[in-house]
């Protein structure tokens, strides 16, 4: 396993466990990555998120692959929204990502939809490189929501038939306190018109003192607090309404379950969640409240509205949730083509085709 690092801000990283300076741990990670690749000789080297790695840590390995006799196909996997275009472009220019894409990568798999967020246009990928870009669709948890009925029964079994279940979640929860605090303040107003049970999943990374504050304030209300759940899909499926931050995994799970949702993205420092929430709202897949506009009054109003008028999915433009299957098909075909000494497969062999260069 590579020694762990964490991102402080765009372009700034630190070691999380080892007592080493970042230049020292960067050097170690470069050596380990190169050594493993050149000795293991994989058919595919799938790079996630950063074409050059953290602070260019992949460049020695990529250069070694290019000048060796091994036939490893180098593929980049990207969430569609990384940050604002301005921040992403500036970091990619400063860290050599555009040069890396041109020099080393055979394909770029975008885990999103071009008509939602055009990565080529937004990140100014040169047109001669756009032919490498394939929009797979969104990658979602493939498990089934097998316990949805049990979850619903756990909270509503002894309640009246018109009682609604609201599920509130925020991934790791490190910055979820403002959203959950506002929900607690908003709920009394909601309860004036609608009986509800609220299941709040704080996330494992919310500070304990903030969890204690939320738990104390929630005690007189019909709120059940928990740190985490093992089956988030079942909770999302069981809910009449989900209130969530706007991380990639949770929002795509919400789309898959087709549960009405209000997204409240994190304020920053990255623009990723705000952008995703706005674009998904524009598609009428979810509702959103900007964190700068979040008040108990506004949240109560939106909750009450959606419990009375659940969001109906936009049937004319449903989300493509086949990203995992599309990426797997393309990767397999690329391996087979490489082993047979052929060119990479035509985009028309992959269904549904969403190729940026066509």
pLDDT band at residue 240, thresholds of 50, 70 and 90? very high
321-to-34, 254, 325, 353 alpha-carbon distances in Å: 34, 11, 9, 14
Percentage of the chain surpassing pLDDT 70? 92
Report the interhelical angle of 296-308 vs 177-191 (nearest 10°): 60
pLDDT at 171: 87
Give pLDDT, residue 312. Answer: 64
**Confidence class of residue 353 from pLDDT cuts 50, 70 and 90?**
very low
Contact indicator for 247, 273 with CB cutoff of 8 Å: yes
Tell me if residue 76 falls in helix, strand or coil. Answer: strand
DSSP secondary structure, 146-166, as one string: TTHHHHHHHHHTTS-TT-EEE
CATH assignment of 5-138+322-349? Answer: 3.40.50
Average pLDDT over residues 278-296: 96
Give me the mean pLDDT over the 132-158 stretch. Answer: 94
- Answer with the residue of higher pLDDT: 236 or 25: 236
Residue predicted with more confidence, 42 or 244:
244
Angle value at C-alpha 52, between 78 and 114, nearest 5 degrees: 25
Residue ranges, CATH 3.40.50.2000, the chain: 148-308
pLDDT in tens, 31-84: 999 999 989 889 899 999 889 888 788 989 999 898 888 888 899 999 999 999
Q: Locate tokens 């959203």: which residue?
A: 179
Asked if 101 contacts 125 with a C-beta cutoff of 8 angstroms, the reply is yes
Is the predicted pLDDT of residue 15 greater than 90, yes or no?
no
User: Residue 170 — very low, low, confident or very high, per pLDDT cuts 50/70/90?
Assistant: very high
β-sheet bridge partners, residue 15: 5
Token digits of residue 254: 């919400």
61-76 per-residue burial string, b: 16 or more CB within 10 A, e: under 16: bbeebeeeeeebbbbb
* pLDDT over 90 at 349, yes or no: no
Residue 135 pLDDT grade (very low, low, confident, very high; cuts 50, 70, 90) = very high
Q: Where are the alpha helices (DSSP H) in the chain?
A: 22-40, 59-67, 85-95, 97-104, 119-122, 127-130, 148-156, 177-191, 208-218, 232-238, 248-257, 272-282, 296-308, 323-339
Is the alpha carbon torsion for 178, 184, 187, 188 positive or negative? negative
The pLDDT value recorded for residue 85 is 97
In terms of CATH, what superfamily is 148-308?
A: Glycogen Phosphorylase B; (3.40.50.2000)
pTM as predicted: 0.88
Mean pLDDT (the chain) is: 90
């Amino acid at each position: 396993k590579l020694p762990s690092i964490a991102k402080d801000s765009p372009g700034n990283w630190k070691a999380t466990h080892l007592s080493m300076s970042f230049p020292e741990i960067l050097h170690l990670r470069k050596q380990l990555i190169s050594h493993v690749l050149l000795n293991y000789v994989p058919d595919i080297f799938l790079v996630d998120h950063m074409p050059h790695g953290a602070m260019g840590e992949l460049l020695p390995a990529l250069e070694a692959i290019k000048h060796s006799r091994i036939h490893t196909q180098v593929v980049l996997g990207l969430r569609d929204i990384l940050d604002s275009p301005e921040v992403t472009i500036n970091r990619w220019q400063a860290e050599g990502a555009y040069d890396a894409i041109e020099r080393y990568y055979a394909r770029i798999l975008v885990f999103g939809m071009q008509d939602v967020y055009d990565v080529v246009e937004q990140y100014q990928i040169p047109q001669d490189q756009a032919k490498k870009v394939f929009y797979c669709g969104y990658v979602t948890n493939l498990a089934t929501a097998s316990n949805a009925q049990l979850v619903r029964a756990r909270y509503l079994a002894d309640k009246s038939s018109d009682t609604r279940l609201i599920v509130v979640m925020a991934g790791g929860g490190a910055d979820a306190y403002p959203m959950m605090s506002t929900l607690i303040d908003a709920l009394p107003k909601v309860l004036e018109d609608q009986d509800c049970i609220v299941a709040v999943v704080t996330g494992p990374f919310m500070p304990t003192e903030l969890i204690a504050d939320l738990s104390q304030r929630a005690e007189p209300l019909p709120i059940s607090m928990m740190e985490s759940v093992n089956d988030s899909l079942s909770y999302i499926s069981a809910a009449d309404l989900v209130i969530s931050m706007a991380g990639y995994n949770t929002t795509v799970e919400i789309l898959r379950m087709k549960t009405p949702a209000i997204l409240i993205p994190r304020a920053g420092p990255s623009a990723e969640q705000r952008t995703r929430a706005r674009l998904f709202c524009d598609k009428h897949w979810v509702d959103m409240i900007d964190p700068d506009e979040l008040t108990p009054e506004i949240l109560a109003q939106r909750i009450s509205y959606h419990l009375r008028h659940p969001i109906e999915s936009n049937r004319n433009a449903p989300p493509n949730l086949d990203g995992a299957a599309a990426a797997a098909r393309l990767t397999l075909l690329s391996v087979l083509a490489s082993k047979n000494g052929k060119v990479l497969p035509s985009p028309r062999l992959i269904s549904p085709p969403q190729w940026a260069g066509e």
